Amino acid sequence: MNSIPDMYTLFSENFNLDYTLDCGQVFRWDLIDGWWTGVVNGHVARLQQDKGSGEVLVDCSLPKCFFENYFRFDDDLDSILQEVNKDKFMNEAINKYMGLRLIRQDPWECLISYMLATAWSIPNIKRAISMMCRNYGDEIEDGYYSFPEPHALVHACDDDLRACKLGFRGGRVIKAARHVEDGNLVLDDIFQVDYEEAKQRLMFLEGIGEKVADCILLFAFEKMEAFPVDTHVEKVVKTVYGHHEYFNGNATKSKIGNWGRMYFGRYCGYAQQYFFYQKRLEGI
């Protein structure tokens, strides 16, 4: 018995689905037979972009407005990129990867995902999250699992999570779930407070340092001024901008974060993601 597919199209000026889903900000999407397939908001989704028209064909029971919000179609990407286009190097990244948009991720899923990301490369993170969802999420379609809610992870024991090969990260996930479940950390409140205060609240959790906090703040909490400095961004900035007076010959990670905010301005988070993607694909 065939069910009627929920198909519709999605469109925004200046949107590249491949760059957006491949750039390393999300871990639940895979390109399968030409369709980006993933689980979002408890639903399986399959997306394919027409290279000519730019229209995205969507096969998912979530409404169009969900994806318009998810892909931040409310961001005027042209003016944002214009604003962060400060020099020749940035201009090159922008021109190459034009259409890469930040994604508005679910706060809880984003928090746990980046907690798991510590000292792992993207393929490892994807594998671990997928295993965790298989063991603690709900099966929503054959072989596809939702991201586990806090209560499901609170009741996980260390050994079970070790079976997901989370290593030292397992205990941190359980503790974070408990903080959220107990109301010590109210994720919705993070939206209300400013960047610095939000960062402090996240860094209160074990396993969340400055870089992880910045990723979560940028990808889930609307803090565009977050400028996550990982190994890639660190190398790029040191190589390309290391001579700037600002660094005084000493470009630490924390200084790089502050520099990014100052140099690129309020949309530095976008600039950072273009750098990150370019560095991953092309090296330096």
Partner DNA sequence: ATGAGC
Partner DNA sequence: TCATC
Q: Which residues contribute to the site for DNA (CB under 7 A)?
A: 24-25, 27, 114, 117, 119-125, 165, 167-168, 215, 228, 230-233, 272-273, 276
Q: Smallest distance from the beta carbon of 171 to DNA, in angstroms?
A: 11
Give the torsion through C-alpha atoms of 26, 32, 35, 40, to 10 deg.
Answer: -40
Instruction: Write down the least CB distance from residue 272 to DNA, Å.
Output: 5
CB of 264 to DNA, least distance (A): 13
Is the four-CA dihedral 255, 258, 263, 264 of positive or negative sign? positive
**Residue number, 58 or 169, with CB nearest to DNA:** 169
Whether the CA torsion 21, 80, 231, 212 is positive or negative: it is negative
Yes or no: say if 213 and 202 are a contact pair by the CB < 8 Å rule: yes
Nearest CA to 11 out of 47, 40, 54, 52 is that of 54
Backbone angles phi, psi at 127, to 5 degrees: -65, -45
Q: Which is nearer to DNA, 69 or 121 (CB)?
A: 121
Q: At closest approach, how far in Å is the CB of 27 from DNA?
A: 7
**Shortest distance in whole angstroms from residue 232 CB to DNA:** 5
**Beta carbon nearer to DNA, 7 or 281:** 281
Element (H, E) at 45: strand 43-49
SS (H, E, C) 134-148: HHHCCEEECCEECCC
CB of 110 to DNA, least distance (A): 10
Asked if 9 and 58 touch (Cβ cutoff 8 Å), the reply is yes
What is the distance between the terminal CA atoms of the chain, rounded to a whole angstrom?
53
Closest approach of DNA to the CB of residue 230, in Å: 4
Residue closer to DNA, measured from CB, 123 or 249: 123
Residue 201 C-alpha from the chain's centroid: 19
Token pair, residue 241, equals 């901008």
**Residue 187 or residue 226: which is nearer to DNA going by CB?**
226
Name which of 18 and 181 has its Cβ closer to DNA: 18
Closest CA to 214 of 256, 277, 248: 256
CB contact at 8 A, 48 and 57: yes
Spatial CB neighbours of 276, under 8 Å, sequence gap ≥ 6: 23, 24, 230, 232, 233
- Work out how close the CB of 216 gets to DNA at its nearest, in angstroms, rounded to a whole number: 10
32 or 281: CB nearest DNA: 281
Q: Which is nearer to DNA, 60 or 126 (CB)?
A: 126
